[in-house]
Structure 1
Amino acid sequence: MEMPEKHPNFAGQENEQPRFEDLNPKNLPLAPIYKLPPEILLEIFTTSCDRNMLTRERFCPSLALSAVCRTWRGFMLSAPDLWSSIELIYCSSERPQNMDSYDFRRIIFRRIYLFMSRSKTTPLDLSIYIAGCSVPGVRSIWRLLAESSERWQNLRLAAPREVLLMDDLLEEVAGRLASLKYLALSEEEDDIFTPLSSAPIQFFKTCPSLDTIVLENLNPDNLVLPYHQIKSLTLQDSTVGENLWSLFPTLEEIVIRDSWYPFHPAQEHTSLSEVRKLEIISWKTDPGDNFFTPFRALTLPQLSSLHISYLNVMELDDDSRKSFDEKALTSFLTRSRCSITELVLTSAPISDVQAIRVLGLMPTLRSLHIEEYPGRPNGVPNNMIITSTFLKAISVTIETAPLAPSLSELTLVLHPSALGFNCQELVEALSSRCLRISTAVHGLSSADIGFIGPEEVNPRVIQQLSGARAEGKFGSGFHMRIRRIR
């Protein structure tokens, strides 16, 4: 009997269908992310793994990525840099309620050992917060971390003073911090430990590579540091002594955040010949007169970058904003005879007229960033600095001497409603600097215009700015960005 011919659509189908067990995983179709070059994948993973919280598994990206698949696990294990950033919060509040302190400490031990071994010889970035834990637990955790202390490159340490004064902890790292470049220290109050001691902290006495210090709630007088090699100093919520600046003769950058130190008008000004950047920041609603103490106490002849920022200004009223000590700032600039090339004013309580006078003392200014404060108590937004008066002052005309003639980069962050339906004054100010009406000006190369506040930006404002750019009012080679900031 003749066998019927198979349907042509199924001819040879049995032979063409491979068995499942014969499939090679390497020949299966890949998702797009698996086709990325290793160099790009490394960049993505590096961004994701910049913070590994060892006490919270869901915030430990290096562990999560290594558990996705065999390919990623192999990639993670071959890149020790992805295991070099560690954050450890060792306090009772981090321990799960159903876990005793011994098991909690054992989990931390395991993860520390895992990260230390997988990071191999890579420099380490450590953030350690200690509070509310027993002394034996702190000692055991510290000893395990100290085994890799020769690889510590960046260290952020927040702990009670009595922890920082434990001699046996000091011995674990003494003379082994040759790679340490960045150090952030914060003194935490803790009822478990004994009252604060006034003894100096000597953990970091010998650190040949250390050049950046951040101190929070700490007086530098209570530390033994290699002061002569420190280039950058940040003080936050710290009260310091009169001889503070004499401790750091080679400073190049100073950042002061809500810190206080005494200064009397009869005192001589401290001159620091290497400082090139000064940043003064306040998070307080009313920072008070102390905010301007650095301007009264210091002389900085090499200063080129000045930042003044009020970062908590939602409750500032008009009376509070009148507290800006223009005299202290202008006296400082005159006394220092410095050439400022960068000025940043973020929510600073300064008026348009005051800002104009300050800019008049900065003929070498190349970059200007002014950001209006985000709101007012009554909810009515207003521009205190970037007003019609200010825009006219920075406009270049043939008849008047230009303000900040070297200005090439301008950033203005303002309330759009204060412009109304017309931003012609802003367009004219930008155009006059771009087209170089006067040969005395350098010419503006870029402008960044940001609009803040809850209100919507009127479309006509955007149209005027975009239209002026399209019409060539800003010349060729000029770059302008318009953005919305909520």
Structure 2
Amino acid sequence: MAKGTPADQATCFRCRHSLTPRTNIDTAGLLQRLRSEYGTATVDTKEVAEMLKAIDMDLEDYESEVSLLQSRILYIKTQQTRLKEHAVNLRSLNSPVRKVPNEILLRIFDYACDKNLLQEFPWSKDFQFPPSTPIVEAFRHLPAMSISSVCARWRSVALSASVIWSRISLELSPENSRLPDVESVLSGFLHTVELHLHRSEKRPLTVELNVSGSLDDENNLVPHQLLAFDLVRKRSWCSFGLGGRQSLSHIPKPTIQNCHSLQSLDLMRSEDPDQELELFKLASGLRSLVLVWLGATQSRGFWKEISSLTVYSVEGDISNVFNHAFNPKELVLRERIFDGALPISPCVPPRLCTSVSILRLCLRLNWNDSLANAAFSSFTFPSLSSLIIRTDAAHPYQGAWPKATLGAFLHRSSCNLTNFEVRYVPVNDSDLISALRLMPSLVRLYVDDTPAGGDDQTSPITPRFIRGLHGFLRTELSPSSSALVPKLSELRLTFNGLQFDDSAFIDMVSSRWLPDAQYASGVGLSCLRVVTLRFAARAVDEAVYRPLNYLDKAGMMVVVLGMDDW
């Protein structure tokens, strides 16, 4: 039997010796024999049998080699996968987040964990009142628990940060509390509440309470106990807010004993502010107060220390706010929300308050007695540094811009305004520029024209307005030799339309990039440091805005977002 030729030889995978096949594959010779050999005289059956046996043995050898090669390939691929995973893990050691000190990581966690939503479970679908917050993925609403589950380091940092566990939003159902075995039914939920309380250590809690139901339904009275609230009530609070439609006075054991550390109180959903404020009469450290209305609130000791007062429905004499809060630094007033409420009446002569540095006005609908006109004609705030005029997107304001009263207010107050925001309020470009002329000390400007009342919204962000902000170009709206708002360093615009003068905006921003302090001082302009432009209805052409990318790399913070980017 002829052996295989050297060309047919291979190397054994296991022993690395040459693997010589037993069979000589002579195709031409075999074809010749098939044509000529036949019968018992010419066909050597023994030789054929030996050749077939050799072929079978060769096939077995090759099959063995293929099996070994496949095993080797599988091993190599497995090793490749392991090496790639190992490389990824090694590279993660060089990840920038690992270089962040724990103190900075803690600040990030503090910022991310603003509220842990502890919603009572199980919440039966048969209950009359559903929860106010539909939850699909629970961990999205439990940031402290989510962060502490990422890795050992994050868990260690999170467990050391009692503050991120101390912010609790409780959503409770009185219908659960009526069950005879309520403690067993709510055991898992109560354990979650206790876990947050334990990890918050002795830190005063930030509590937001929302009890489902309605005061109008006599069959939904709050039962004698709310187990989760009883757990939270035993701890001291630094902030408390009431949500939902249940009155705090209807909740069992409402007297708050541990409120000496209470600094912030939000009773926006209150049905009776006078009665519910009485529950917090021991809150001597109260600094921030939110009420749905002032009513006939009695003067109490903590009113002297109130630095931030929010009234969600202003009615009657607008100066009544100073009959209670004597020296607030921040005053937030919202348009009256009830048709039956008393109309707003201005104060004559204007009332002077030297403590107010922040004034926020939220306008609603189109009342004849405009909150803006009443406030601007009734107050004199010489210390005012921040003025925000906005409207509620759900209740759009369609009244006139308070041009005359705003101008008189700024002249009378002679304040150094550094922050001005106009959001969703219809105002034309000329009226807005007229207002800006009265604010030479302005540092931050925020204009949001996103319409809250329909497509006929008047947008102040026009090409004339953009050119009016140019550092050197004089226009018909800004003919003065000095630039408009010369100290501007932060500009934020939100534009809802489709037609926007991109080139004028880029030119204006470039004109205010003055990183050389000596040159900026010589021309009487401050360097623009922060620019944010958001489009609500159009995309961003990156090629057009490439010049601003160069400014961003040079040191100016530039953010330009299209409708799909935010």
TM-score normalised according to structure 1 size: 0.73
Specify which of 170, 182, 185 is matched with residue 267 of structure 2: 185
Counterparts of 1:247-258 in structure 2, within 5 Å, are 247-258=324-335
1:353 paired with 2:440, answer no
Structure number with the bigger relative contact order (C-alpha 8 A, sep ≥ 6) is 1
Aligned to 1:228: 304
Aligned to 1:83: 165
Q: Per the alignment, do residues 224 and 451 of structure 1 end up closer, same or farther by CA in structure 2, a change over 3 Å counting?
A: same
Q: Per the alignment, do residues 75 and 463 of structure 1 end up closer, same or farther by CA in structure 2, a change over 3 Å counting?
A: closer
Any idea what SS the aligned residue of 2:277 has?
coil
**Cα RMSD (Å) of the superposition?**
4.3
| In structure 2, distance between residues paired with 1:159 and 1:224 | 27
Any idea what SS the aligned residue of 2:116 has?
coil
Maintained 8 Å contact 2:174/2:222: no
Q: Per the alignment, do residues 68 and 137 of structure 1 end up closer, same or farther by CA in structure 2, a change over 3 Å counting?
A: farther
1:274 paired with 2:366, answer no
Specify which of 260, 264, 268 is matched with residue 345 of structure 2: 264
Aligned-residue offset at 1:109: 4.0
| In structure 1, distance between residues paired with 2:411 and 2:273 | 42
Counterparts of 1:19-418 in structure 2, within 5 Å, are 32=92, 36=98, 42=106, 46=110, 49-55=113-119, 58=138, 59-63=141-145, 79-92=161-174, 103=184, 107-132=188-213, 134-138=221-225, 141-149=228-236, 152-158=237-243, 163-164=248-249, 168-170=253-255, 173-174=256-257, 176-187=258-269, 199=275, 201-215=277-291, 217-219=292-294, 221-222=296-297, 225=300, 226-237=302-313, 239=315, 242=318, 243-259=320-336, 262-264=343-345, 267-282=348-363, 284=364, 286=366, 289-292=369-372, 293-312=374-393, 320=398, 323-374=400-451, 377-378=454-455, 383-388=459-464, 391-392=467-468, 394-396=470-472, 400-414=481-495, 417-418=498-499
Aligned to 1:443: 526
| In structure 1, distance between residues paired with 2:506 and 2:488 | 16
Maintained 8 Å contact 1:128/1:156: yes
Aligned-residue offset at 1:276: 0.6
TM-score normalised according to structure 2 size: 0.64
Amino acid at match of 2:262: L
Aligned-residue offset at 1:259: 3.9
Amino acid at match of 1:52: N
Maintained 8 Å contact 1:252/1:277: yes
| Deviations 1:88-123 (CA, angstroms, capped at 9, x unpaired) | 112358x59999756555555444333323322123
Q: Per the alignment, do residues 299 and 88 of structure 1 end up closer, same or farther by CA in structure 2, a change over 3 Å counting?
A: same
Aligned-residue offset at 1:333: 0.9
Point out where structure 1 has 5 or more consecutive residues left out of the alignment. 1-5, 9-28, 190-195, 471-475
Amino acid at match of 2:527: L
Maintained 8 Å contact 1:342/1:366: yes
Aligned-residue offset at 1:434: 3.9
Amino acid at match of 2:484: L
Amino acid at match of 2:324: L
Amino acid at match of 1:126: V
Give me the identity figure in percent: 24
Which structure has the bigger radius of gyration?
Answer: 2
| Deviations 1:288-338 (CA, angstroms, capped at 9, x unpaired) | 64231221221111101111123428977xxx46x1121121111112121
| In structure 2, distance between residues paired with 1:77 and 1:404 | 47
Maintained 8 Å contact 1:340/1:365: yes
Q: How many residues align?
A: 434
Q: Per the alignment, do residues 358 and 478 of structure 1 end up closer, same or farther by CA in structure 2, a change over 3 Å counting?
A: farther
| Deviations 1:322-370 (CA, angstroms, capped at 9, x unpaired) | x112112111111212111111122321111111211121122222222
| In structure 2, distance between residues paired with 1:428 and 1:43 | 38
Amino acid at match of 2:260: A
Aligned to 1:13: none
| Deviations 1:216-257 (CA, angstroms, capped at 9, x unpaired) | x34364466511101111222454665222211110011223
Amino acid at match of 1:204: F
Aligned to 2:50: none
| Deviations 1:19-68 (CA, angstroms, capped at 9, x unpaired) | xxxxxxxxxx9795999576566556555544222225724344566678
Aligned to 1:192: none
| In structure 1, distance between residues paired with 2:262 and 2:287 | 9
Aligned to 2:26: none
| In structure 2, distance between residues paired with 1:76 and 1:200 | 35
Structure 1, 125-134 or 394-403: larger mean CA deviation: 394-403
